[in-house]
Amino acid sequence: MNQTLVLKLLVPARLEGRLILVLLGPGSERTMVFVETKRQADFIATFLCQEKVPTTSIHGDREQQQREQALRDFRTGKHPVLVATSVAARGLDIPDVQHVVNFDLPKEIDEYVHRIGRTGRCGNIGRAVSFFDPDNDSQLAGALVSILSKAQQEVPPWLEECALSGPGGFNAARKMFSSTDSRKGPNTGSFQQSSSQIQPAPAAAAEEDEEWE
């Protein structure tokens, strides 16, 4: 695994604003943004469109024709950003994805590896950015430490502390972190503090598994 992983502190109340900075950084790269729920997919896609970032989405509540149109728009570059749930994206082979954003980290590390594996294929340069919330993602800390160590990369002290503390540890009172994974070369970009006061989406209830029709 030839990757560089850099983790930065984020402010949760400005998470959507920070997403804008992440997406604007690489320009018009074909980007997949992963979220955990259908409701969040709609919220993020609508928000990005309002911010003049051409975006489409796929999830289980969209009609087959809508999903096919979304994929066409993504592949042709009409909408270079695709917001998707993991379930809706399963089985889809989308070439030339240059950028993956985990707005919500998955519950299992295998899914994380699968997501970031969608970029940087065939010797191309790819980037993956992930938002890490110790309140919700602490169960992944140990596995992320292992991935970084095996790749001979620096492990951030806060991530080690989170891994050692276990679930509920690393009391950074709802602080968020961003991880940037740049394949075939270190990340040279930096993310500035967002000045926008954007309210996060209302907490969505647990959703049932989506199914393709």
Q: Is residue 40 part of a domain?
A: yes
Overall average pLDDT of the 174-193 stretch: 45
Q: Is residue 203 part of a domain?
A: no
Above 60 in pLDDT, residue 138? yes
Q: Is residue 141 part of a domain?
A: yes
Q: Lowest-confidence range among 4-8, 21-25, 30-34, 62-66?
A: 4-8
Q: Is residue 207 part of a domain?
A: no
Residue 138 near residue 170, CB atoms below 8 Å: yes
Q: Quote the pLDDT of residue 157.
A: 84
Domain count, the chain: 1
Query: For the domain that residue 141 is a member of, what is the CATH number?
Result: 3.40.50.300
Above 90 in pLDDT, residue 73? yes
Closest among 122, 118, 127 to 186, alpha carbons compared:
127
Residue 55 near residue 20, CB atoms below 8 Å: no
Residue 154 sits in which domain range? 3-183
CA 132 to chain centre: 10
Q: DSSP letter string over 127-179?
A: EEEEEE-HHHHGGGHHHHHHHHHHTT-PPPHHHHHHHHH-TT-S--TT-EEEE
Overall average pLDDT of the 1-18 stretch: 49
Q: Lowest-confidence range among 59-73, 99-113, 124-138, 188-202?
A: 188-202
Q: Is residue 28 part of a domain?
A: yes
Q: Quote the pLDDT of residue 179.
A: 58
- The mean predicted confidence, pLDDT, of the chain is 72
Angle among Cα 187, 172, 5 to the nearest 5 degrees reads: 15
Overall average pLDDT of the 101-114 stretch: 89
Overall average pLDDT of the 22-31 stretch: 72
Query: How sure is the predictor about 136, in pLDDT bands with cuts at 50, 70 and 90?
Result: confident
Q: Is residue 200 part of a domain?
A: no
Q: Is residue 212 part of a domain?
A: no
Q: DSSP letter string over 8-30?
A: EEE-GGGHHHHHHHHHHTT-S--
Query: How sure is the predictor about 54, in pLDDT bands with cuts at 50, 70 and 90?
Result: very high
Backbone angles phi, psi at 47, to 5 degrees: -60, -45
Q: Is residue 126 part of a domain?
A: yes
